[in-house]
Amino acid sequence: MNYASLLNHYGDQLELVGEEREALNFVFREMKAWSYTEFVLKLSQEVEVEDASIIKEIFEQLYRHYPAQYILGKSQFYGLDLMVDERVLIPRPETEELVDLILAENSAAILDVLDVGTGSGAIALSLAKTRPKWQITASDLAQEALDLAQTNAQKNNLELTFVRSDLLTNIEGKFDIIVSNPPYIAYEDKEEVGLNVLTSEPHLALFADEKGLALYRRLAEISASYLKPKGKIYLEIGYKQGQAVKDLFTKYFPNHRIRVLTDQFGQDRMVVIDHEFITRTTGD
């Protein structure tokens, strides 16, 4: 049997359980360190015994809804190679849009930035790579996530400050930017989550109480005291949460501009709290 036939055979079975057949090709090619051209040229050749075993093992993991990135132990994010495993969420392309937005709106050479709930460190490390003079603090409640984020920082030769903290409880100082991609999936929306996410990725980093709004509410209540006078907050949100998150922050930031921004698919994905507007009264 040639590579194409074997991969198609397993790919058909993956599709039957709701997994993408291309994931098998991707993981196998990455494991073999083949270029796409090398992979295509191999498809018509007979499968080597060792490769047949590798392909079968990859298939069995994908069939059990184990994510491709966890199989490889790595994920690409904003040009960085990040280690990922069950301790952290796999970084999503939508979060790259949040990084793009922060960089586009903040050109100052030196800023103090806090990434709340850093997970793998994706946001903090991307900002550190692109703005090397920014002073960046990355926090997370889970020590195991912080350990992995620190490993990713070392792997990419980036220097950050890491703090274990339940949101802002252990944070000191004030910041020009607070950014967070917190858990925001409502427990009642579990059916919307793919099986490879639900069965493998950490639920602590996925789900939140109060219809997914619990951590936004807590941030809204306390974040003002951690911002510098012209500080900004950047949040990733669920696609159904734009107005609700805006309402939460309007309560605690009544004199600020609050924007709900969409992602490349037109879904609400980011909330930004920024410029303070002060009403001045004049007398005779």
The confidence band for 197, taking pLDDT boundaries of 50, 70 and 90, is confident
Higher pLDDT, 268 or 201: 268
Q: What residues pair up with 271 in beta bridges, in sequence order? A: 235, 260
HEC assignment per residue over the chain: CEHHHHHHHHHHHHHHCCCCHHHHHHHHHHHHCCCHHHHHHHCCCECCHHHHHHHHHHHHHHHCCCCHHHHHCEEEECCEEEECCCCCCCCCHHHHHHHHHHHHHCCCCCCEEEEECCCCCHHHHHHHHHCCCCEEEEEECCHHHHHHHHHHHHHCCCCCEEEECCCCCCCCCCEEEEEECCCCEEHHHHHHCCHHHHCCCCHHHCEECCCCCHHHHHHHHHHHHHEEEEEEEEEECCCCCHHHHHHHHHHHCCCEEEEEEECCCCCEEEEEEEEECCCCCCCC
Give percent of the chain with pLDDT exceeding 70: 96
Average pLDDT over residues 240-251: 95
pLDDT tens-digit profile of 32-56? 999 999 999 999 999 999 999 999 9
Q: What is the pLDDT of residue 203?
A: 77
